[in-house]
Amino acid sequence: MRSVKAFAPATVANVSCGFDILGFAIDAMGDEVEVRLKDEPGLVVVSIKGDQGRLPYEVEKNTCAVAIQAMLDELGQDVGMEIYLKKGLPLGSGMGSSAASAVAALVAANRLLGEPFEKKALLPFAMAAEKVACGAGHADNVAPSLLGGFVLIRDYHPLDVIKLHVPEGLHCTLLHPHFELKTSDSRSVLRDNVSLKHSTIQSGNVAGLIAGLFQEDFELIGRSLRDVIAEPYRATLIPGFYETKEALKSAGALGMGISGSGPTMFALSKGEEKSPAIIQAAEQVYEAIGLGVDAYHSAVNTRGAYVIEEK
Ligand SMILES: Nc1ncnc2c1ncn2[C@@H]1O[C@H](COP(=O)(O)OP(=O)(O)O)[C@@H](O)[C@H]1O
Ligand SMILES: N[C@@H](CCOP(=O)(O)O)C(=O)O
């Protein structure tokens, strides 16, 4: 039986100012998916490890199967495949867990089929899986997980995805307080309308962040991590958010924000030297609140998803 195993990295979506349009991949962790061809048509999720028994096996619900099914539908083929998922990412954390599964599954299945799609062309299938996971087919986790680096979704209709420059030495620290926040729930607190004033502030910061990346201007990157659209509503769902923001700035972070829809927070720094102080500052805040916090730090992953093994 032929099989391919692929890895897809965790991601930080939004990057504060770029709600649904910006994201980057990190090296620290990700999901692994093995896909095996089988004789009979149809998809089956055979095993899921690392999820404490919480993820669905139904092919209409698991993002691995939803993504592969969307790809097979586009090809008009009814190929039989078995799916084996190893979760490396905590669920409902804001690190693109549902996206990493979908992307790893697609990269593996695409290779099994002889790569009928180039990498970027897999995106709509991964977005279909995100729609099932959280009700919105946003691409700011799946695009960086697939392609690596910093990615801009300039438009969704039609999809226009642009890889951005990643300055050497840009480092990310992730702080994950011990509770879950479903993306669907933290999308439901957002408002449908944005004022002209806020639209001006937000677009200035998106432009500033992108200019900062290309100019390798770390200070500009840091001061562009400002979000007046989602953060004010979502911060209320994350105890200690504003205290953490203050503490991380004092610890030397260039800037920080909510990773994806939270509760994980990300901080950017120049080099990894500041990471231990950033982690310590967050731990102090959460110790006072009485919540545990897991910390990870990583360079920006520029490779994206890849095949680990084929047999
Ligand atoms: N393979 C998968 N990995 C993670 N979540 C999945 C997967 N398949 C389906 N889901 C569903 O997606 C939802 C989690 O997605 P989401 O809230 O966006 O979390 P995250 O930010 O961690 O991706 C849950 O309802 C979960 O059951
Ligand atoms: N743009 C989305 C990103 C969700 O990221 P996740 O890692 O929390 O799934 C949003 O802000 O809702």
Ligand 2 binding pocket mutation candidate from 17, 22, 138, 266 (most atoms within 8 A of CB): 138
Domain ranges of the chain: 3-165+301-310, 170-299
pTM for this predicted structure: 0.97
Q: Is the dihedral of CA 274, 280, 285, 291 positive or negative?
A: positive
CATH of domain 3-165+301-310: 3.30.230.10
Question: pLDDT per residue over 26-79, tens digit each?
Answer: 988 999 999 999 999 999 999 999 999 999 999 999 999 999 999 999 999 999
Considering all CA atoms of the chain, what is the largest pairwise distance in Å, rounded to the nearest integer? Answer: 59
Amino acid sitting at position 278: I
ipTM of predicted assembly, 2 dp: 0.97
Question: pLDDT per residue over 274-291, tens digit each?
Answer: 999 999 999 999 999 999
Task: Give the HSE-up count for residue 258: Cα atoms under 13 Å, Cβ half-sphere.
Answer: 30
| Cα separations in angstroms, 15 against 158, 162, 206, 254, 255 | 22, 15, 9, 13, 10
Known binding-site residue numbers: 90-100
Class of domain 170-299: alpha beta
What is the torsion angle, in degrees rounded to the nearest 10, for the CA atoms of residue 104, residue 172, residue 130 and residue 111?
-20
What phi, psi does 291 have (nearest 5°)? -120, 140
Name the closest-CA residue to atom 25, ligand 1.
133
> Does this chain's domain 3-165+301-310 share its CATH topology with 170-299?
no
Question: CA 12, CA 158: separation in Å to the nearest integer?
Answer: 23
